[in-house]
Chains A and B, each alone.
Chain A
Amino acid sequence: MAKLILNRLSKTFDLGGRAAVNDVSLTVREGGFLALLGPSGCGKTTVLRMIAGFEQPSDGSILLGERVLADASEMVAPEHRNMAMVFQSYALWPHMSVAENVGYPLKVRGISGEKRDRKVREALAAVHLETYADRRPADLSGGQRQRVALARCLVTEPDVVLLDEPLANLDRHLRQEMEETFREFHARSGATMIYVTHDQAEAMALATDVAVMSEGKLLQVATPEEIYARPEGRLVGGLVGQGAILSLPSPFGDRRLFDWPAMQDILAGPAQEARADILVRPQDVEIAAEGQVATVLSVLFEGERYALRLALPDGQALRAFSRQPVKVGDRLSIVIRAAWRL
């Protein structure tokens, strides 16, 4: 195994058309778990399909360690890449039993008899489906099918495992269970994993690294903690975590993290041409005396707390939480404990 390198990768489907993937450079460390996060149509699935070998890059290259997997002129066919993939539709072969599905990559590699049976049993045991070996995929539930697809990835010890929105077709309860299975799978196999999703909570919960994409471009790659605390730019700030982005008079200097005294200065600052985007997370907005005045726009009861939308005097919206019930139209006094300049 080795690290996977995307080097200035681009993909254009129609000659002269807009690039689906535009100049993406990225290194996934060996054994890493990278989440490719972005809204639908941002090019993340195209990146995944290029890594798998279903699409050829129009420009740039893909390397696994020293080995060039693909560039604009040559490429290694998917069947020779030693990768595995969990498809959104699971892609289980309906005419084969669960054991045959899982064992097919071994069969193609010429592994047969006792050795194959043992490996299939092990893979099925890892996803807790030993007793389903002789069933057909059609007889399984969505979550079970997903686990069969995962076992099929496990069985050949691939260098890279690709997951294309694997939880999109599952209900919420099953999602949590499957997230646990994926984490277990990653710890156990040690494979490099790339996980495409549009759900930021999923990406944060699973991955060791998150790469955010939009309109074919890579915006930021960092650990989940880093990307949450220090997002780069409006798009990442809006996509990762909850929060409101305020457009405020640009503060002087290159300071990016502001506490309440600094925020007070900014809010009270003179109206000027230069504006800055400042991200305020709801948990950093505190209802306290002697702060900034804000009007309640809406209140949503979430069980453990109330989620509020507030309006600043200039009309900009802010999110906050409250333990006490408040009413729409109430005027509150708030203190912003932390804010991040995007």
Chain B
Amino acid sequence: MMRPQNRGNSQPRWLFPFVVTVIFCLSVLPLGRLAATGIMSAFRGGASELLSDPGLWRSVYDTLSTSFFGMIAAVVLGGGFALLLTLFDIRGKALLGFLFMLPTMIPPQVTALAWIGMTGPSSALLKAIGLAPPLGSPQPLYSIGGIALLYGAQNAALVYLSLRAGLLALPRDAVEAARLSGASSFQVLKDVILPLSLPGLAAGAAIAFVSCVGNFGIPAILGIPAGIYTLPTLIYSKFAAFGPRTFADISVLSGLIAILSVIGLMVEARVLRGRDYRVIGLSGQVAVFRLGAWRWLAELLLWLTIFLILAMPLIALVASSLAPAYGVPLSPATVTIKAYEEILFRQAATRIAFTNSLSLSLATAFGLLVVTVLTGYFLVRSKSRFVGLISALAEIPYALPGIVLAVAFILLFAAPIPVISISIYGTIWIILIAYFSSFFAVSLKPVVSAFRQLDPSLEEAARLSGAGFARRLADIVVPLVAPAAGASVILVFLIACNELTVSALLWSAGTQTLGVLIYNLDDSGSFNIAAALSVLVVIMVIAMMVVLELMAKRLPKGVVPWRS
């Protein structure tokens, strides 16, 4: 027997079909197409040739080893920061936390360029201070260790956030009870806090691992010159050397990445499930331990780390951008802003890339907002039993590495769209659709948390006042979620503007993005121009993060990703 649908609910009849269509187009269709191609090529036996290729297994091994060591580095860095900043009386916590988040928000290809500028025989910075190794000595970062180190620096903040969330959720009375039982600070730390925060650490490690597996910018810049191919860069190189089996190969390869990621995400979900103690007792305020005489040492260590993983590479990046050419020592006599003039005023390619990235990011941020406001409204207000499934499907494209999604969209749009027979392959539209799919979850999350905080009676009062759906959306709902919507726009813009992985596979002449341009400039040897462009990107990232930081007080909890 069908229960009559409750028409007392506030959603118009078209909302459910609309949400289902959006989710189908942005999540089910591309991933389904990828899975179908992967399975088909496996059945036709095409995969066996690929799977018997030792190069593939070499690449799987390199992916796993770089990701594993990267995860270890991220756990050491991020775990140390989370413990010290959350549990101890360190001064300048807010600033340290903010600075520690920066490497994650800086695009990986920029991170890679910055570190290259800091090491090796051609470093403008090292040459300027006379510490550069002799010419001909190898660049130490072009190695498994170098890639893993950068993975660690890039993803340490993920571990930091996850462990910190776990530590902040610790019930304070558990700590106080242990104290009253006679435990010393150290015993409390060892016997209560660390065991209870272990799930947070494990979950953070799992996310960091997934993020390493899917990273493209770092292994593309550091690995390819040394002949090290991770799975994402292997896809890229197979795609660049286009052949008859390319589609089958890349669908199998991205299937492998997807499997590795799903394993990581399942580990994360599993360890976090044990975190039920959140509801027991008061939480939110962690007891702070005094470090006493050790405090200055801890602070020194923290600032030194920030200096090494953030300040130094950025200084090196600026130094490279001011050098007249790659390998020329930087000195007051040689310093020049030619590279900046070049990108800002001379090169058509940079202008095109700027235009493309800015318009793509703006269109994605604002276009997605319209979709996510409606979807978020549906997810929070609806009592439909599909809500869980729909929110899971909305999350998947963002959880999977961008390269997987890019391959899915290539497969989907390689042939002209049936019925209307228009091909969007090679145009900017395919990148736009892939961005919509990829950043849907980023845009949705702040909006959903704002909706959850909204008292339903505010909308019910508007209904009784006579306002229909569109009217109360415009007058009541949207103004009330506006701060979160603003944060959503900035976040999507920030991530889309710096994105490389998706567009690296989807761009063609005239549609290159900033990420692609930086990579291509470096690839073609224009290191100083790539560095200058990267400096501009970093400035933009920091500016937007500061804006979000300033907005943070007016936003619902969890909207600004680096605030907990």
Q: Which residues of A contact B (CB under 8 A)?
A: 15, 49-50, 52-56, 58, 70, 72-75, 77-85, 87-89, 91-95, 104-105, 108-109, 149, 152, 156
Contact = CB atoms under 8 A, between A and B. Distances in A.
Listed residue (B6, B8, B465, B471) with the most chain A CB atoms within 10 angstroms of its CB: B465
Interface string B452-485: 0001011011111111100100011001100000
Given A53-B8, A83-B464, A104-B475, 14 more contacts: A15-B1, A15-B3, A74-B7, A79-B465, A79-B466, A80-B466, A91-B455, A93-B480, A94-B480, A104-B462, A104-B467, A108-B467, A109-B466, A152-B461
Nearest to A82: B466
Contacts of A89: 455, 457
A58 B8 CA distance: 11
B136 interface: no
Contacts of A152: 461, 465
Contacts of A80: 466
A103 to B, nearest CB: 10
B467 A91 contact: no
Contact of A75 (B1, B8, B457): B8
B480 A77 contact: no
A78 B464 contact: yes
Contacts of A77: 7, 463
A79 B467 contact: yes
The 6 lowest CB-CB distance pairs between A and B, nearest first, are A105-B465, A91-B457, A91-B461, A78-B463, A87-B457, A55-B8
Contacts of A74: 7
Contacts of B480: 93-95
A36 B6 CA distance: 24
Contact of B460 (A52, A58, A82, A109): A52
Give the interface size bracket for B toward A.
Answer: 20 to 34
Contact of A91 (B4, B8, B460, B471): B460
A105 B466 contact: yes
B384 to A, nearest CB: 14
Contacts of B8: 49-50, 53-56, 70, 75, 78
Nearest to B1: A15
Nearest to B479: A95
B7 A78 contact: no
Nearest to B482: A95
A75 to B, nearest CB: 5
A261 B393 CA distance: 77
Contacts of B3: 15
Contacts of B464: 52, 78-79, 81, 83-85, 105
Contacts of A108: 462, 465-467, 471
A145 to B, nearest CB: 12
Listed residue (B7, B458, B462, B464) with the most chain A CB atoms within 10 angstroms of its CB: B464
A91 B458 contact: yes
A50 B3 CA distance: 17
A54 B457 CA distance: 10
Contacts of A95: 479-480
Contacts, number: 83
Contacts of B471: 108
Contacts of B6: 55-56
Contacts of B463: 53-54, 77-79
A104 B463 CA distance: 11
B552 to A, nearest CB: 19
Nearest to A158: B464
Nearest to A72: B4
Contacts of A78: 8, 460, 463-464
Contacts of B467: 79, 104, 108
A101 to B, nearest CB: 9
A55 to B, nearest CB: 4
A56 B458 contact: no
25 contacts: A49-B8, A56-B6, A58-B4, A79-B463, A79-B468, A80-B466, A81-B464, A84-B465, A85-B460, A85-B464, A87-B460, A87-B461, A88-B457, A89-B455, A89-B457, A91-B455, A91-B461, A92-B461, A93-B476, A93-B480, A94-B480, A104-B465, A105-B466, A108-B467, A149-B461
A190 B458 CA distance: 26
Nearest to A55: B8
A56 B461 contact: no
A36 B274 CA distance: 44
Contacts of A81: 464
B528 to A, nearest CB: 50
A84 B463 CA distance: 9
Contacts of A92: 461
B381 to A, nearest CB: 11
A53 B466 CA distance: 12
A308 to B, nearest CB: 42
Interface in B108-165: none
Interface in B1-42: 1, 3-4, 6-8
Contacts of B457: 87-89, 91
B1 to A, nearest CB: 8
Contacts of B455: 89, 91
B466 A85 contact: no
Given A83-B464, A105-B465, A93 B458 contact: yes
Nearest to B471: A108
A54 B460 contact: yes
Listed residue (A77, A79, A84, A88) with the most chain B CB atoms within 10 angstroms of its CB: A79
A74 B4 CA distance: 10
A50 to B, nearest CB: 8
A82 B468 CA distance: 13
A76 to B, nearest CB: 10
Nearest to A153: B464
A79 B455 CA distance: 18
Nearest to B2: A15
A72 to B, nearest CB: 6
Given A91-B455, A94-B480, A109-B466, A56 B4 contact: yes
A199 B184 CA distance: 51
Contact of A56 (B7, B462, B466): B7
B4 A73 contact: yes
A34 to B, nearest CB: 18
A77 to B, nearest CB: 7
A70 B468 CA distance: 18
Listed residue (B3, B455, B463) with the most chain A CB atoms within 10 angstroms of its CB: B463
Contacts of A82: 466
A82 B463 CA distance: 10
A85 B461 contact: yes
Contacts of A79: 463-468
Contacts of B479: 95
Contacts of B465: 79, 84, 104-105, 108, 152, 156
Contacts of A156: 465-466
A95 B6 CA distance: 30
